[in-house]
Structure 1
């Protein structure tokens, strides 16, 4: 059981150790409601004025479900369980009046839960927390890394939606210090005085790109072209900055092994040689299809002695970075699927370094052909 914030009672350090162990989860338990029971009646999100931040479009492009089951959304989630809850703190310049609102992604409605907080800035601040039971119901003791990764993906979805709508520059807080909320995304209203985005970032996504982003069902065969893989790795490294994580990619034939970025991100270099994908498949909860994926992009780090804040920060940042890397893969015509559950995945020890220092945290499987194309040949 979790406490009233959904935090593991024995601590996140112990929870991660259990999740990394070979122990298998038990039988499924009830997941509970798919949406947090916000108080008050659901309200539609008004149409935005010409100078307002369009919250209806922002949430449609990032978190809203597009089918009645609630599974089909612009942001991925382990097991399509979607444990992330979103409270909106709305200031001036938005399509909703200032106040605090709970978001219902199934109905694309909001619940007014309180007045605005003193000093609320213009625009919207999205506070992301989790209802752990949804993920625990299927993944059991393996749930907590997945909950954090899902939150990072949700933060990235909001970030990309803001960029697609040309809002003020979004600011993402993934520092790992808070247990609740786990992450905060602040999005100012459109403003020509917003600072210019760094030149090295990609062009803003279009709404169509965000709505088309989906996790490709396996298998994902086919080695991505050199330039496409370099671009995906570069996106992940930029988005996963902060020194907590390192990034590499396990590539398949004709020259299997690990590659990483070199020369300031302008080229790839070979880190090790030899086939590694079957081992990754065994580590990834026995997902055998990974052994035949064209490439597996890996975020690794988060040592055994990491404290709770480090664990939260590393996993939140990994989810955020993999989400942005997924969009880059999509732009290069690649099939892609995030992979979040990893057991005994001590990558450093497997490569001859000291054990317990360098664990697989998250991954993105990449291929050049989608499953339906492969099955039709």
Structure 2
């Protein structure tokens, strides 16, 4: 069972089925504090000494708020509500003394919660959980898939920040087996101490991606709609390739494009060329499925992660949505590197893509999306 803000258990299978239904959320409710109430006094994160992993820079590039409201952060979040909380298990070789810490992204401080667990390896493990109330306050019964997607985005932001700081490949746990933490990202010091995996979780090494510059991570934003302009084939291929390469198992990927040849494109088996999966204009239907966001019908293209059948159990639901959020975040970074505008789309109702394409119903639902374009909204308004 998952847990509601008041501690009541939530049946994740039933929650996803309801989130996929046409039922509309009720009125907004209070979101509560923007930061988890960590116990004890807060403390600044010191500068890194020598070859230690710079946790202050790592968190600044991945989870820290850059405005007083807390809405603007390097990781995407539905409604900019940011429900993901990070607890740090710090070993040697880091800019904080070994121990367990709660992170405050608004003050960019930490709260020491205790000493490190026995056997903590060098480096840091960021354990990600959620305060569901923040997202439930606006999205109501549609919140749970969004909470999982947001956690995947936060894990990807940590992954990219580690690469930008030269910490090498991070170990990312997105297996969906645990209710709390939902995900964990383990990062080693740049000097390359032996990356022994933390106890109590299965971690998987993710394929390499391009090393981003710190400024690139801080500049990542979800572009406001509309997102006009059809991306060129090489950019679409790069975005699709990133999503396919960094997600495993349950997810499939395609991209909806418009004129002159509207349809759904996917990567061919050779992994380097695009092929047509289906013909016809899909974007108006996607707009209706995506909580009625009409602007999606005019987006240049829409990347789609699909899978997670109606009979999926809770671990599969968690795993699929976590991996979708992770992959869309990295695809977003690739899109920006190719000069595209991009905006994640997380809320989908009645989006049974498989049934729409003539397959058995209930087997192939849209899980996440990324709207793409070549021009910003302000440019569109001046043309």
Alignment pair present for 1:73 and 2:73: yes
Instruction: Pick which of 186-195 and 136-145 moved more.
Output: 186-195
Residue deviations 1:127-156 (CA, integer Å, cap 9, x gap): 000000000000000000000000000000
Pairing 1:285–2:291 present: yes
Corresponding residue of 1:20: 20
Q: TM-score, normalised by structure 1?
A: 0.96
Deviations 1:276-320 (A, max 9, x none): 100000000000000000100000000000000000000000000
Distance between the aligned counterparts of 2:243 and 2:187, measured in 1?
Answer: 22
Q: How far has the Cα of 1:69 moved from its partner?
A: 0.5
Give aligned pairs, total.
Answer: 374
Cα displacement string for residues 22-46 of structure 1 (whole angstroms, at most 9, x for unaligned residues): 0000000010100000001110000
- Which of 234, 259, 276 aligns to 2:241? It is 234
**Residue 8 of structure 1: CA displacement?**
6.7
CA apart distance, 1:168: 3.9
More moved, 162-171 vs 61-70 = 162-171
CA distance in 1, matches of 2:325, 2:154: 8
CA–CA distance in 2 between the matches of 1:228 and 1:312?
30
Would you say 1:34 and 2:34 are equivalent positions?
Answer: yes
The DSSP-based 3-state class of the residue aligned with 1:46 is: coil
Tell me by how many angstroms 1:192 deviates.
4.5
Root mean square deviation, CA, Å: 1.7
Name 2:339's counterpart in structure 1: 333
What residue in structure 2 maps to residue 209 of structure 1?
216
The equivalent of 1:172 in structure 2 is 172
CA contact (8 A) 2:206 2:246 kept: no
Question: Cα offset for 1:169?
Answer: 2.4
Instruction: Please tell me whether the aligned partners of residues 283 and 344 of structure 1 are also in contact (alpha carbons under 8 angstroms).
Output: yes
Question: What is the distance in 2 between the residues matched to 1:250 and 1:37?
Answer: 42
* TM-aligned CA deviation for residue 200 of structure 1: 7.3
**Residue 84 to residue 185, structure 1, CA distance change in 2 (3 Å):** same
Q: Say if 1:163 and 1:7 are closer, same or farther in 2 by CA, change over 3 A.
A: farther
CA contact (8 A) 2:207 2:245 kept: no
- Unaligned 5+ segments in structure 1 are none
Give, in angstroms, the shift of residue 6 of structure 1: 7.5
The aligned residue for residue 220 of structure 1 is 227
What SS does structure 1 have at the residue aligned with 2:88? Answer: strand
Change (3 A) 1:88 1:296: same
Q: Equivalent residue for 1:114?
A: 114
Counterpart position of 2:123:
123
Q: 1:254 aligns with which of 255, 260, 267?
A: 260
Q: Which runs of 5+ in 2 are unaligned?
A: 196-204
